[in-house]
Chain A
Amino acid sequence: MRVPRFLQPVFEVRGMARWLLLSGLAVVVFFVVLAIFAPLIAPYGFDQVSADGVRFPKQASPSGEHLLGTTVQSTDVLSRVIWGSRTAIEVVVLAVVFSLAIGVPLGLISGYVGGRVDRALVLVMDALFAFPYLLLAIVIAFLLSSSVGQGVFTAAVAITVVYIPQYFRVVRNHVISVREEPYVEAARALGAPRRTVIRRYVFHNVIQSVPAIATLNAADAILTLAALGFLGYGIQPTEAAEWGYDLQRAIDDAGAGIWWTGLFPGLAIVLLVTGFTLVGEGINDVLNPLIRQRAVEPPVIPAQPDSELPPPGAEPPPRGATEARATEVHRE
Chain B
Amino acid sequence: MVADPTTDPLLAVRDLRTHYSVRGSFIDRLRGREAGAVAAVDGVSFDLRRGEVLGVVGESGSGKTTLGRTLLGLVPATGGSVHLRGREITGLPERELRPLRRRLQIVFQDPHASLNPAMTIGAAIADPLRFHGIAADAGDRKRRVAAALERVGLAPASQFADKYPTDLSGGQKQRAVLARAIVLGPEVLVADEPVSMLDMSVRAKILELMIALKEELDLTYLYITHDLATAKFFCDRIAIMYLGRIVEIGPASQIYDDPKHPYTASLLRAIPEPDPTRSVPRDLPRGEVPDAVSPPLGCRFHPRCPRAFEVCGWESRDLRTLLETRWTRMAEEEYERERELVGELDSLDEPAVEASLPAGPGHTDEEALGVLEAMRAEAPDDPFWKGVAELQPDGSGARVRFHEPLVPRDLEVDGARVECHLHDPEALAAARAAAASDGPAVVAEPT
Q: Once the chains bind, are A190 and B101 in contact (CB under 8 Å)?
A: yes
Interface assignment of B94: CB less than 8 Å from any CB of chain A: yes
When the two chains form their complex, are residues A205 and B117 in contact, meaning their CB atoms are under 8 A apart?
yes
Contact with A along B162-177 (1 / 0, CB 8 A): 0010110100000001
Q: Which of A165-223 contact B (CB under 8 A)?
A: 181-183, 185-194, 196, 200-201, 204-205
Of the candidates B74, B105, B114, B127, which one forms a contact with A192 in the assembled complex, judged by CB atoms under 8 Å apart? B127
A2 to chain B, nearest CB (A): 10
Asked if B118 lies at the interface with its beta carbon under 8 angstroms from chain A, I say: yes
* Residues in A neighbouring B105, C-beta threshold 8 A: 189-190
**For the complex, what is the distance from the CA of A204 to the CA of B115, rounded to whole Å?**
13
Cβ of A131 within 8 Å of any chain B Cβ, yes or no, is: no
A301: CB under 8 A from chain B? no
Our count of residue pairs bridging A and B at CB distance below 8 angstroms stands at 73
Decide if A5 touches B131 in the complex (CB within 8 Å): no
Q: Which residues of A contact B164 (CB under 8 A)?
A: 5
Contact A190 B180, beta carbon cutoff 8 Å: yes
Contact partner, A191, options B101, B113, B166, Cβ 8 Å: B101
Does chain B have a CB within 8 A of A256? no
B389 CB within 8 Å of chain A: no
Whether, in the assembled complex, A325 has its beta carbon less than 8 Å from a beta carbon of chain B, the answer is yes
* B184: min CB distance to chain A, Å: 7
Residue B110 at the A interface, CB < 8 A? yes
Minimum CB distance partner of A326 in chain B: B166
Most buried by B among A186, A188, A196, A201: A186
State the Cβ distance, A123 to closest chain B Cβ, in Å: 18
User: Chain A residues with Cβ under 8 A from B128's Cβ?
Assistant: 190-192
In contact, A191 and B116 (Cβ under 8 angstroms): no
* A193 close to B98 (CB less than 8 A): yes
Distance between Cα atoms of A4 and B169 in the complex (Å)? 23
Identify which of residues 109-165 in chain B touch chain A, using a CB-to-CB cut-off of 8 Å. 110, 113-119, 127-128, 131-132, 164
User: Taking the nearest CB of chain A, how far is it from the CB of B174, in angstroms?
Assistant: 13
The reply on B99 being an interface residue by CB < 8 A is yes
Q: Given contacts A192-B127, A200-B127, is CB(A186)–CB(B114) below 8 Å?
A: yes
Contact residues in B for A321 (Cβ distance below 8 Å): 167
A322 close to chain B: CB less than 8 A:
yes
Distance between Cα atoms of A36 and B127 in the complex (Å): 41
Say yes or no: A189 contacts B167, CB within 8 Å.
no
Task: For the complex, give the distance between the alpha carbons of A113 and B98 in Å.
Answer: 18
Q: Is the pair B166, A190 in contact by a Cβ cutoff of 8 Å? A: no
**Nearest CB of chain B from residue A175's CB, rounded to whole Å:** 14
Q: Please report the C-alpha to C-alpha distance between residue A194 and residue B93 in the assembled complex, in whole angstroms.
A: 12
Task: Assess whether A204 is in contact with B180, with CB atoms less than 8 Å apart.
Answer: no
CB <8 Å contact, A181 and B113: yes
Q: Which residue of chain B is the closest to A320 with respect to CB atoms?
A: B167
A226 to B374, CA, bound (A): 85
Prevailing SS type, chain A contact patch = helix
Which residues of the other chain, B, contact A322 by a CB distance below 8 angstroms? Answer: 166-167
CA–CA, A191 to B388, complex, Å? 54
CA distance A192 to B99 in the complex (A): 10
What B residues does A181 contact at CB under 8 A? 113
86-115 of chain B: CB within 8 A of chain A: 94, 98-99, 101-102, 105-106, 108, 110, 113-115
Query: In the assembly, what is the distance between CA of A194 and CA of B131, in Å?
Result: 11
Choose one: B101, B115, B169; the contact of A189 (CB below 8 Å). Answer: B101
A194 to B95, CA, bound (A): 10
Nearest CB on B from A67, distance (A): 50
| Residues of B44-96 contacting chain A, CB below 8 A | 69, 72, 74, 94
Q: B119 is contacted by which of A193, A196, A200, A329 (Cβ under 8 Å)?
A: A200
Complex interface bits, A1-21 against B, C-beta within 8 A gives 1, otherwise 0: 000011000000000000000
Q: How many residues of B contact A (CB 8 A)?
A: 30
A189 to B74: give the CA distance in the assembly, Å: 7
Contacts A185-B74, A204-B119 known; A190 to B131 CB distance under 8 Å?
A: yes
CB-contact partner of B118 in A186, A187, A193, A205, under 8 A = A205
Q: Give B68 Cβ to nearest chain A Cβ, in Å.
A: 10
B100 to chain A, nearest CB (A): 8
* Known contacts A5-B164, A193-B131; A187/B116 CB under 8 A: yes
> A194, B114: Cβ atoms under 8 Å?
no
Whole-angstrom CA separation of A313 from B38 in the bound complex: 58
Quick check: B113 and A192 within 8 Å, CB to CB? no
Instruction: Choose among B69, B72, B98, B118 the residue that contacts A5 (Cβ–Cβ < 8 A).
Output: B118
- With A and B bound together, what is the CA distance between A185 and B169 in angstroms? 22
Choose from A182, A183, A196, A204 the contact partner of B131 (Cβ within 8 Å).
A196
A326 CA to B99 CA, complexed, in Å = 38
In the complex, which of the residues A6, A187, A204, A322 has the most CB atoms of chain B within 10 Å of its own CB atom? A187
Task: Collect the chain B residues with CB atoms within 8 Å of residue A183's CB.
Answer: 113-117
CB distance from A131 to the nearest CB of B (A): 28
Contacts of A204 in B (CB 8 A): 116, 118-119
Q: What is the chain B residue whose CB lies nearest that of A181? A: B113
**Which residues of A sit under 8 angstroms from B114, Cβ to Cβ?**
182-183, 185-186
Residue on A nearest B68 in the bound complex, by CB: A189
In the complex the two chains form, is B108's CB within 8 Å of A191's CB? no
Docked-complex contact A205 and B116, CB < 8 angstroms: yes
Closest chain B CB from A38 CB (angstroms): 39
The 0/1 profile, CB within 8 Å of B marked 1, for residues 318-332 of chain A is 000110011001000
User: Could you say which residues of chain B place their CB within 8 Å of the CB of A192?
Assistant: 127-128, 131
Closest to B97 in A: A191
Residues in A with CB closer than 8 Å to B116 are 183, 187, 200-201, 204-205
Most B Cβ at <10 Å: residue of A5, A188, A189, A201: A189
Contact of B106 among A5, A6, A189, A193 (CB under 8 A): A189
Check A191 against B102 for contact (C-beta < 8 Å): yes
Q: Which residues of B contact A182 (CB under 8 A)?
A: 108, 110, 113-114
Bound CA span A62–B177, Å: 70
**Hey, which chain A residues are within 8 Å of B99, CB to CB?**
191
The complex places the Cα of A71 from the Cα of B116 at a distance, in Å, of 58
Cα distance A182–B115 in the bound complex, in angstroms: 8
Q: Offer 30 A-B interface pairs, CB within 8 angstroms, sorted by A.
A: A182-B108, A182-B110, A183-B113, A183-B117, A185-B69, A185-B114, A186-B108, A186-B180, A189-B106, A190-B127, A190-B184, A191-B99, A191-B101, A191-B128, A191-B131, A191-B132, A192-B127, A193-B98, A193-B131, A194-B94, A196-B131, A201-B119, A204-B118, A205-B116, A205-B118, A325-B166, A325-B167, A325-B169, A326-B166, A329-B166
Please give 4 more A-B residue pairs, beta carbons under 8 A apart, in addition to A191-B98, A191-B184, A204-B118.
A187-B116, A190-B131, A191-B131, A322-B166
For the complex of A and B, 8 pairs with smallest distance between CB atoms: A191-B101, A204-B118, A190-B128, A182-B113, A182-B114, A186-B114, A183-B116, A191-B98
Residues of A at the B interface (CB closer than 8 Å) are 5-6, 181-183, 185-194, 196, 200-201, 204-205, 321-322, 325-326, 329
Chain B positions within 8 Å of A, measured between CB atoms, are 69, 72, 74, 94, 98-99, 101-102, 105-106, 108, 110, 113-119, 127-128, 131-132, 164, 166-167, 169, 177, 180, 184
